[in-house]
Amino acid sequence: MHRSAPRLSRILACATVPVMLVVAGCSSDSGDAKASDSSTSPSAQKSEPEVEPAKFTELPDACTSIAKKTIEDLVPKTKTKGGTPGKSSDTTSRGGCSWNGLDDNGVKGSQYRWLDVGFTRFDSDQSLGSGAKRATDEYTKQVSKAQATEGAEKPAAKPVAALGEQATAVTYGLTKSKEDFEYATIVARTGNVVVSVTYNGAGFAGAKTPSAADILKGAQKAAKEAVAAVGADAGSDTSSASPSASASASASAKS
């Protein structure tokens, strides 16, 4: 019987060791888990939201963005009917075209007209912002620039309805080479593209200066066509850029 006491003591001592180890292990694991959770939790690792993709990836041909009939109406006796394209190193981001003409009526005087259209497109950039935001900033700059035209007489700006997502018309008079010109500039934004149209005219050799209302009306007509050309160009890009859509359309045609 005297041998049972030491044996019982050894059993009890061994039995308590696992309990202590388990408790210690649980305490250590709990701390590590909390540390791990605090460093790898998705909510702890916040990332910047991605910018909205640019709506338009290309620009229309500026010289064909306005109908030939409109050019004939606004710029009689056009020197270059196809327009004079502006110089651009990247036609997917910037483009322009202009027309001018002199309708010479001899002793009755002559009427001069000049029309210019310009497109500026912006891509979305994580550090610079979305294409639409960047275009909005450019839109504001172009409106301010038109209002600050050197020598402008009685400049006035007013919003234009139903033209892109936002549009402003800037009108003013300007005297050049002792002739009185009437100017109208329409700046519009559609998605990530800014469209600018400037139309002006003057009467030479005693002919009357065109009215500000007529010049503004002509500028608005050209601007509507230019803005519509951006949307039309994007529509054709979308259909051609989707292989599945093209395949589906082809299958439907065959059936």
Instruction: Give 202-224 pLDDT, tens digit per residue.
Output: 999 889 999 999 999 999 999 99
Question: pLDDT for 13-53, tens place per residue?
Answer: 544 444 444 444 444 454 554 444 544 555 545 677 899 99
What pLDDT sits at residue 232? 86
Rg (CA), the chain: 35
Could you tell me if 208 and 103 are in contact, meaning their C-beta atoms sit under 8 angstroms apart?
A: no
Q: Which of 98, 239, 238, 230 is nearest to 164 (CA)?
A: 230
142 in a domain, yes or no?
A: yes
Supply the range of the domain harboring residue 78: 62-238
56 in a domain, yes or no?
A: no
243 in a domain, yes or no?
A: no
What pLDDT sits at residue 168? 98
Start-to-end C-alpha separation, the chain: 101
Residue 85 exposed, middle or buried by CB count within 10 Å (0-12, 13-18, 19+): middle
How many Cα atoms are found within 13 Å in the side-chain-facing hemisphere of 191? 21
Mean predicted confidence (pLDDT) in 243-247: 37
Same domain, 3 and 117: no
161 in a domain, yes or no?
A: yes
Q: Which of 57, 50, 52, 62 is nearest to 193 (CA)?
A: 57
Assigned token pair, 37: 């959770």
What pLDDT sits at residue 21? 40
Contacts with 205 (C-beta within 8 Å, 6 or more apart), sequence order:
107, 109, 110
Matching residue, tokens 């030479």: 204
Question: pLDDT for 150-160, tens place per residue?
Answer: 999 999 999 99
Assigned token pair, 54: 């640019």
Assigned token pair, 186: 């329409």
What pLDDT sits at residue 242? 36
What pLDDT sits at residue 42? 53
What pLDDT sits at residue 67? 97
- Give the chain's domain count: 2
Q: What's the CATH code of the domain at 178? A: 3.40.1000
249 in a domain, yes or no?
A: no
Least confident of 28-42, 113-127, 235-249: 235-249
Q: In whole angstroms, what is the distance from residue 171 CA to residue 176 CA?
A: 16
Higher pLDDT, 114 or 89: 114
**Residue 243 pLDDT > 60:** no
89 in a domain, yes or no?
A: yes
Q: Does the global pTM surpass 0.85?
A: no
Same domain, 220 and 163: yes
